[in-house]
Structure 1
Amino acid sequence: MYTSIDLFAGIGGNRLGFDQAFGNNIKTVFISEWDEKAVETYKANFNDSIDVVGDITKVDEKDIPDHDILLADFPCQAFSLAGHKRGFEDGEFSEKR
């Protein structure tokens, strides 16, 4: 059994791929995402009892469980129809912090 943590989790797309690839051989033990709507969707996508913590920069590293795999999603909104399609020139994410 592998354990994973899901940072910058968005709606859980990265986790979904790992869950499908590893099947019952992976368990998510920690989730971090700061966008409230993404967290709402993440919780709807995964029916588990793990609390989604907010901003990872405000989490003490001692509070992050031991894990085998660290998942970290790329901020896709800057490249998709959900954002302004400015790619690496999109400053929206730094403005929200």
Structure 2
Amino acid sequence: MKIRFIDLFAGIGGIRKGLEQAIAECAGISECVFTSEVKPHAIKVLEQNHPTDTITGDIAKVKAADIPDFDILCADFPSQAFSSAGNRKRFADTKGTLFL
């Protein structure tokens, strides 16, 4: 059985990795059909780990019709607006308002 998933706010791919491992343990096959990430250093890691994937930038600029059909939506919390490593503008930063 093939499970198709999308990975939003992908970071370096940790949530994706866990899903892929869980599917493999159940003798399934996983396929990531869409990935979205905006941070350049995270994109570099994703490109190294998944060289055949296309990494889409800002999910807020993607039309719903342009996202392929999927079975599971993976999404990390868009933490840049809240993290001490970010600007801490919280909900005043539009990244802090992107919830699924």
TM-score range, shorter chain: 0.7 to 0.9
**Counterpart residue number, 1:91:** 89
TM-score normalized by the length of structure 2: 0.75
Distance 2:57 2:90 in 1: 18
Distance 1:74 1:34 in 2: 13
**Counterpart residue number, 1:63:** 66
- SS of structure 2 residue aligned to 1:27: strand
Cα-Cα RMSD: 2.5
TM-score normalized by the length of structure 1: 0.77
**Residue 95 of structure 1: how far off its partner (Å):** 7.5
Distance 1:3 1:61 in 2: 16
- SS of structure 2 residue aligned to 1:28: strand
Q: How do residues 25-44 of structure 1 correspond to structure 2 at under 5 angstroms?
A: 25-44=29-48
**Structure (1/2) with the larger helix percentage:** 1
| Paired residue type of 1:22 | I
Give structure 1 stretches of 5+ with no counterpart: 85-89
User: After superposition, what is the alpha-carbon deviation per residue over 1:17-67, rounded to whole angstroms, capped at 9, x for unaligned?
Assistant: 0111112521100000011111011111224x2210000010111110000
Distance 2:65 2:78 in 1: 25
Give structure 2 stretches of 5+ with no counterpart: 96-100
**Once the two structures are aligned, what percentage of the paired residues are identical?**
44
Runs of 4+ in structure 1 over 4 Å off: 76-80
| Paired residue type of 2:89 | G
Distance 1:11 1:26 in 2: 18
- SS of structure 2 residue aligned to 1:66: coil
Q: How do residues 8-19 of structure 1 correspond to structure 2 at under 5 angstroms?
A: 8-19=9-20
**Residue 92 of structure 1: how far off its partner (Å):** 7.0
**Residue 79 of structure 1: how far off its partner (Å):** 5.2
